[in-house]
Structure 1
Amino acid sequence: MKKKLLLLSIVLIPLLLNAAATDGTVIENLSEGTLLERVGGIESLNGIESLTISGRINGTDVLAIRGMHNLKAINLADASIVEGGQPYYKSYTTKNNELGDYMLYDLGLEQAILPRDLTLIGQFSLSKNQLSSIEIPEKVTRIGNNAFASNRLSAVTFPPSVTEMGSEAFSENAFVEFTFPPSLTELKSSVLKDNKQLLKVTIPGSITEFPSDICRGCTRLKQLILVDGAEDLFIFLLNHTFFQDYPLEYIYVGRNITESHSTFAHIFTLKKAEFGNITRIPSDLFFNCPKLAEFNLPGTLESIGTGAFESSAIEKIVIPESVTSIGGHAFAGSDLREVDIKGPVRELPEYTFGICEKLEKLTLPSTISKIGEKCFCYSEIQEFRCPDDLVEIGSEAFHGCDKLERVHFNDKLTHIGTRAFQKCSALKEVYLPESVTSIDSYSFSDCESLRVLSLPATLEEIEPSSIEESINIISLISHAVTPPTVTEDFDTRVTENCTLYVPDESYALYYLHQYWGKFRKIVKLSEYTGIDTVTRDSTPFTTGNGKIIIPEGNNKRFTIFNMQGQAIYDGIPTSEIECGNGLFIIKTPGSSHKVRL
C-alpha cells in the first residue's frame, strides 16, 4: 500500500507544480490599451496574483499591471511591448520592444518571464522586487542602471547578445557566483554592489576595462577570475588598496594587466593565484599578500615587475625560460626556500630576493651579469656559485647571510660592492679570481669565521675597511706585484694577528708601504704552505702521475687550490682529477689535505 501511495505522489507532484505555474489570470491576444477591461475592471486588480499575457502591451496596460498590488508572478513571454498609451510611471512611456525605465519597479514580484522580442532592459525596470532567478531574452543588447537591483536573485541566464550592463544593474541581490556574459564589452561601476553572499566572480575576456568597484560591499568575495582575452585588461582603481575590502582567497589572471597600482596588494586572505598565457606581471601586483603561498608562472611570461610578490608566503619558485626581466623587490621578504631561474635573465636588481630569511637553495642562469644591492641579504644560503657571466656583485648583496660558508667565484667578476659579504659569519675562506680589480669598503667586514682571504694579481685598489672586524683572519694573500692602492690603515687587530703573503719580488714594496707595511708579519708567497688550513686525518683519495684518484662511489665535494690560492677544481668527482705537478690544497667536507704531485 505504501509503495502505491509513493508512486501516486511521484506522478501527481509534477502535475500539481505545473498547474501552479500556469494558475492565475491568463489574457490571450491582448490588444494594446485593453488590459484593464480584459481583467474585469479596476475592482479586479488587487485580486490578481499571477498574470500571463500574450498580445500587445502599451503604457496604459503597464499602468494597469502596476495597479495589481498583490501580483507575485508575471509571464510576458508571448507579449510585445509597443509605444503609445498613457505614461505608466511618472512621465515614463513605452517604446517598442523595450522594458522601459521603472516599468515593473517595486511590485513585489517573485517570478517574471520577459517578452521574447525584448531588445533593451531599462533603468530600475525590475528593481525592488523579490525575484530569485531571471532569464534575459535572446535579443537584449543592453541592461540599464539598477535594472535588477534590490531583488533576491541567485541565478541569471544571459544570451550572447548582451554587450552593455549599467551601474548597479545587479546590486543588492543574493548571488553566490556570478559570471558576466562573454559578449559583454563594457562594465559600469558597482554592478554587483552589496551582494553579501557573493563568493566568486568571473570577468570574461571580452572586457577590456574593469572598474574595480563592481563588487563594492561584497564582503564575502573569495574568488576573482579574470578570463583569458585577446586584449590587455585595464583596471580602474578607486584607491590603491581597494581589494583589501574583500576576503579574496583565489585569483585567476588570464591576461596582461596594463595598469596595476598595487591592484591586489595587501589582500591578507589571498592564498592562491594562477596565471593564463600572460607575458608580464606588473609592479606590486600581489605586494604584501602574506598568505599567498601558491601560484604558477606560465611559459609565456617575459617579465616580472618590481615588488610583484614581495612579502608573500611562497616557498618554492621556478621562473620559466621565457622570462628575461625580473624587477627589484620582486620576491623580497617572502618565505622562499628554493629558487630556480631558468630564463636568460641579465640582472637581478636591488632586493630581488632580499630578506628571504628561509632561502636555502638557489639556481641561477649563466647569463646574469649583475647582482644588485641587497639582492640576497639575510638569506639562509649556505653556498653560492657565481654565474658564468657575472661581472658585478652589488652593495650588501649577501649582507647578513650568516649561513653562507662557500662562495665560488667565476673568472669574469670585476667588482665587489660595499658591504657585499658583511656579517657572513660562517664564511671561512675567500679566493678571489684574477678578474677582480676593486673591492669596496666593508665588503668582507665582520666575518667572524673568515680565516683566509686571497687577493688576485689584478687587484688595483682595496678599502682597508673591507676586512674590518674580521679579526680571525690568519692568512691574507696578495698576488698583486704592485701593492693595491690603500688610503688608510687596516684594522689593527687584523694587522697584529694576520700573516700577509706577498709576491717574492714585491716583498720590499709591501714591507716599506705606508699601510701594507703595518702588518706585523709579512711573508713571501714562496714560503706559503697553507698549513693553517690543513688537517691530518686519513685521505679519501690516492695520487699518482699528476692525478688525484677518487675511490668508487664517492659522493663528497672536492675543492682543489694551487699555491696561488686559485681554485682549479670544484665538484663531486667520480673517477680521477687531472691536476699536473705541484703542491695543492685539497678540501673535502670536514677535512683539508696538502699533497705534492
Structure 2
Amino acid sequence: MALPSSVTNDANSTTYTVASIGFGAFFGSSLTSVTIPNSITSIGNNAFTNSKLENIDIPDTVTSVGAYAFSDNSLKTATISNTITSLEDHVFSNNDLTTITIPNSIISVGSNAFSFNALTSVIIGDNVELIDNNAFYNNKIADITIPSNVTSIGDNAFMGNELKEITIPNSVTSIGESSFSENYLTHVVLGSNLTFIGNEAFADNLITNVESYSANPPILPSDAFNVNAAIDLFIPEGTTQKYEDAGWTGFKSVTEDPALTLSTDSASLKNEFTIINTENDIRVSGPKGINVEELLVFNISGVNVSTSKQTFIETTTLPHGVYLLQIVTNKGSAVKKFLK
C-alpha cells in the first residue's frame, strides 16, 4: 500500500498535504507493506502496531516516530530516517529484524526499542548517548561496538543475546542491572569513567577475563559477575587497594597491568588495530578514518624505549621480552602488548 502525499476535498476542490500519520492510524491492520511518502514528517504512537508489515523504509523527511509505532509486526527489514533524533519505547519491538543500522542522528535508543527480535547484526550510530532499559533484550547479537558517546546503558539492555566479548568505552558512567547477563561473554573490558555497575550486570556468562581501566573503581555488587573465582582481573597500576575497598574481591587473580595505566583514551580503540610483529619491526594497520600519529614502545616497567611517527617502529635493538605498544591516533590512543 502506498500512502498518498496529498488528498483533495471534492466538495470544495481543496488539496491538503498529508504530513503525519496519527496515533493508532493503522493499528491492527492486515497491511504487509506500506510506502511512506516524502510529505510525511511524523508518525504517531502505535501507528502500525499489531499489523503484518514485513519491511519498512522511513524516509528522511520523517523527524519523529512515536512509541510502539511498528511494534508487533513481522518486520524483517527496517530503514530508519537520518533526521530522527530518538528511537522511542518499543518502536520496533517484537518483530523479526535480523539487522539494523541506527543512524548518526539518533541520540537515544528507548526502552525495548528492539527487544524480542532476531538481530544478529547491529550498527549503533556514533552520536548515541543513551541505550535504555531492555533496548536490545532477547535477540541474537554476537558482536556489538558501543560508540564512544554513550554515557548510560540501562537495565537488561543486552540481556539474552549471544555476545562473546564486550568493550565498554570510557564515556560510559553507568551500567544497569542485568545489562549484559545471559550471554556467552568470556572477556569484558571496562572503561575508565564508570561510577555505577548494577546487580547481575554480567551474570550468567562464561567470563574468565576482565580488564578495568578505572583508577577509581565503582562499588561492585557481589553478584555483578556471578562467579568471581573463575575470573582473572586486570587493573591499573597502584589501584589494588582501591579495588578491594570497592568490593572487587574473590577473583581468581588480580594483576596490576601497566597497559591499563597507560591507556587513558578509549578502551575500545585497541580492537580497531592489527599489529604485525616481524623480525625487525612492528607494523600497525587500522580502519579508514583513524590515522596513526605516533607509536611508542614501553618496556614492562613503563619506560619509553622507542618512538616513531610512522605506522611502523623498528625493534631490532630491543632485548627479548614483553613490551607495550601505545598507538596514538586522531581518535585517541590505545595500548597493545607484543613479544620481541
Is this a same-fold pair by TM over 0.5? yes
Which deviations, in whole Å up to 9, do the C-alpha atoms of 1:555-592 show, x marking residues without a partner?
xxxxxxx999xxxxxxxxxx96669985359xxxxxxx
Q: From the superposition, tell whether residues 503 and 294 of structure 1 become closer, same or farther in structure 2 (CA, over 3 Å).
A: closer
Residues 482 and 185 (structure 1 numbering): CA distance in 2 closer, same or farther, change over 3 Å?
farther
Alignment of 1:327-366 (within 5 A): 327-356=88-117, 358-366=118-126
- Residue 271 of structure 2 is matched in structure 1 by none
Instruction: State TM-score, norm by structure 1.
Output: 0.42
- CA drift at 1:368: 0.5
3-state SS of paired residue (1:483): helix
Deviation of the 1:464 alpha carbon: 1.6
Question: Kindly, what percent of the aligned residue pairs are identical?
Answer: 19
The alpha-carbon distance between structure 1 residues 301 and 489, as it changes in their structure 2 partners (threshold 3 A), is: closer
SS in structure 1 at match of 2:223: helix
1:382 corresponds to which of 123, 142, 163: 142
Query: Corresponding residue for 1:442?
Result: 200
Secondary structure of 1:375's partner?
coil
- In structure 1, C-alpha distance between the alignment counterparts of 2:299 and 2:31, rounded to whole Å: 55
| Correspondence for 1:316 among 66, 77, 85 | 77
- Find the residue that maps to 1:275 and give its secondary structure: coil
Say if 1:294 and 1:489 are closer, same or farther in 2 by CA, change over 3 A.
closer
Please report how far the alpha carbon of residue 544 of structure 1 lies from its aligned counterpart in structure 2 after TM superposition. 5.4
Measured in 1, the distance between the counterparts of 2:126 and 2:62 equals 20
Residue 273 of structure 1 contacts residue 292 of structure 1 at CA under 8 Å; is this kept in 2?
Answer: yes
For residue 306 of structure 1, report the CA deviation from its aligned partner: 0.5
CA distance in 2, matches of 1:406, 1:286: 36
* Offset at residue 427 of structure 1 (A): 1.2
Instruction: Go from structure 1 to structure 2 and tell me whether the alpha carbon gap of 1:342 and 1:549 turns closer, same or farther (over 3 Å shift).
Output: closer
Q: For residue 144 of structure 2, give the secondary structure of its aligned residue in structure 1.
A: strand
Unaligned 5+ runs, structure 2: 1-5, 262-274, 286-297, 301-309, 326-335
Q: CA deviation at 1:348?
A: 0.5
Residue 438 of structure 1 and its aligned partner are, at CA, apart by 2.4
The whole-number CA distance in structure 1 between the counterparts of 2:160 and 2:11 is 52
Q: 1:183 to 1:349 in 2, by over 3 A?
A: closer
Q: Pick the structure with greater CA Rg.
A: 1
**Contact in 1 for aligned 2:55/2:78 (Cα 8 Å):** no
| Contact kept in structure 2, 1:320 and 1:341, CA below 8 Å | no
* Residues 1:501 and 2:260 are matched in the alignment: no
Between structures 1 and 2, the one with greater helix share: 1
CA distances 1:39-80 after superposition (whole Å, capped 9, x unpaired): xxxxxxxxxxxxxxxxxxxxxxxxxxxxxxxxxxxxxxxxxx
CA distance in 2, matches of 1:544, 1:418: 47
Residue 421, structure 1, aligned to residue 164, structure 2: no
Q: Is the 8 A contact 1:318 1:342 kept in 2?
A: no
The answer to whether residue 20 in structure 2 is matched with residue 256 in structure 1 is yes
TM-aligned CA distance change 1:396 to 1:471, over 3 Å = farther
In 2, Cα distance between the equivalents of 1:388 and 1:503?
Answer: 23
Letter in 1 for 2:110: P
Superposed, which structure 2 residues align to 1:67-466 within 5 Å? 182-184=8-10, 206=15, 229-230=16-17, 254-257=18-21, 259-260=22-23, 262-267=24-29, 269-276=30-37, 277-289=39-51, 291-356=52-117, 358-401=118-161, 403-424=162-183, 426-447=184-205, 449-456=206-213, 457-466=215-224
Residues 342 and 365, structure 1, Cα contact 8 Å, conserved in 2: yes
Query: 1:527-557 deviations in whole A, cap 9, x for unaligned?
Result: xxxxxxxxxxxxx94335662467xxxxxxx
Structure 1 residues 286, 458: CA separation in 2 closer, same or farther (over 3 Å shift)?
same
Displacement after TM superposition at 1:181 (Å): 8.1
Task: Check whether the contact 1:302–1:322 (CA below 8 A) recurs between aligned residues.
Answer: yes
1:583 pairs, out of 319, 323, 337, with 323
Of 270, 274, 282, the match for 1:547:
282
CA RMSD of aligned residues (A): 3.6
Work out the CA distance in 1 between the residues paired with 2:284 and 2:125.
Answer: 31
1:184 and 1:343, CA in 2 relative to 1: closer, same or farther beyond 3 A?
farther
Query: Looking at both structures, which has the greater relative contact order when contacts are Cα pairs under 8 Å and sequence separation is at least 6?
Result: 2
Looking at structure 1, the residues matched to 228 and 135 of structure 2 have their Cα atoms a distance apart, in angstroms, of 23
Report how many aligned residue pairs link the two structures: 282
- Is residue 178–residue 199 contact of structure 2 (8 Å, CA) maintained in 1? yes
Does structure 2 retain, via aligned residues, the 8 Å contact 1:438–1:460? yes
